[in-house]
Amino acid sequence: MRYFPIFLDLADQNVVVVGGGETAAQKVRLLLKTEARITAIATTFNPELTGLGDSGKISLIRRTFQVSDLKAARLVYAASGNDLEDHALSQAAQSLKIPVNVVDNQGASSFITPALVDRDPFVVAISTQGAAPVLARGIKSRIEAMLPANFGALAQFAAALRPVVARQISEAGARRKFWQRLFKGPVRNLVLSGQEADARDIAAQEIDEAINNIGNAGKVSLVGVGPGDPDLLTLKAQQRLQEADIIILDQRVNIKILEFARRDATRFYVGKTPGQSFIKQSELNAVIARETLKGNHVVRLCGGDRLHFSQSVRDLTLLTRLGLETEVVPGVTQAVSETVSEQLSTSVNPLRAWRIPFARETLRKPEQHFVVKG
């Protein structure tokens, strides 16, 4: 990762845009979504920028830029369209340690602007690090279609509720579980449909329940992660990784799978490689029991389908005897993944290879079902 994604607080910060044409206007439109103080510098401005200046929404300086214009600037955009002027501006900004973006010139820029899905205060930033902006725009379109236009109302609701939750639910793990449960329940739909009073009533009930459950034991998930390909993780396995407080894994588990996990989850690595020392199963069970009794959600990762290992049965039996809530999340087996891969790789037309009947045949005869023949 060359570019580290961050969100800057631009409230009451100075942002300088050098340029007076359409390219500069595009940057100004984006910056107007923030609370920054925007100054545009150019010898001439198009009607849009002129109107923004006349209305007092931005400041206009009608001349070529000077290094002194960058004083106290938090960000700088070079959008004049003049290569020499933009290059000089970039050098001046970087010499002053001010982040600068030169439009359509990644090499001269110290930061890039991602594609944004704006559901203020909920914002999604998408970047290909300048490699393929068209791909980023395609992903943006898909996310735009997934999120309701008023999706930001959920974040606003959470922001208003957060001080109350922090005051009444002191334990961090309990707070996290409260938020997870809250937005999986009816509160989400109530807020999005404008019924915030009803949403607040349910949230108050959820807070009481969270308070009453503080100190209760957590949960153990024995999760199979398949043959190691992160793309073969089941949806339930991904969900458990997002919910986990403690993740236990050995060296047979592909480390890339942890990209699906919460960054702040504690990770326990237990050796399983021949010739290396590893934690005994009895010690591992003690760790799982201890952390679960603290109220944590413990996820034990294992390669393959978790149900296919005799150790899983022993783990499940022991944890159940201890009175701990335990579940098994099966993974994709190696045999299934290899069979499917072989079918797809050796077939010119996978659908023909599997001989799945056409949908129109099923529509003509509703009582029939799809049949997979060998």
Residue among 69, 68, 71, 48 nearest 58 (CA): 48
* Residues contacting residue 138 through CB under 8 Å, at least 6 positions apart: none
CA distances, 354 to each of 232, 333, 359 (Å): 20, 20, 14
Residue with tokens 């309990």: 174
Catalytic residue flag (residue 250): yes
Catalytic residue among 69, 86, 245, 250: 250
Q: Which long-range contacts (CB under 8 A, 24 or more apart) does 184-192 make?
A: 187/157, 188/154, 191/153, 191/154, 191/157, 192/148, 192/150, 192/151, 192/153, 192/154
Q: What is the DSSP pairing of strand 122-126 with strand 115-119?
A: antiparallel
Annotated catalytic residue within 140, 236, 272, 294: 272
Nearest to 232 by CA among 312, 326, 328, 338: 338
Token pair 């791909």 in the structure block, residue: 135
Fold adopted by 219-329:
Cobalt-precorrin-4 Transmethylase; domain 1 (3.40.1010)
pLDDT of residue 336: 52
pLDDT at 350: 44
272 carries an active-site annotation: yes
pLDDT tens by residue, the chain, 374 residues:
889 999 999 999 999 999 999 999 999 999 999 999 999 999 999 999 999 999 999 999 999 999 999 989 999 999 999 999 999 999 999 999 999 999 999 999 999 999 999 999 999 999 998 888 889 999 999 999 999 989 999 999 999 999 999 999 988 778 888 888 888 889 999 999 999 999 999 999 999 988 887 777 788 998 988 888 888 898 999 999 998 999 998 888 888 999 999 888 999 888 765 555 567 777 888 888 888 888 889 999 987 665 555 556 666 677 777 778 888 888 886 555 455 445 444 444 444 444 444 444 443 444 443 333 33
Does domain 14-113 fall under CATH 3.40.50.720? My reply is: yes
| pLDDT single digits (tens) 22-34 | 999 999 999 999 9
Q: What distance in Å separates the CA atoms of residue 27 and residue 19, rounded to the nearest whole number?
A: 10
Which residue in this structure is represented by tokens 């909920």?
A: 122
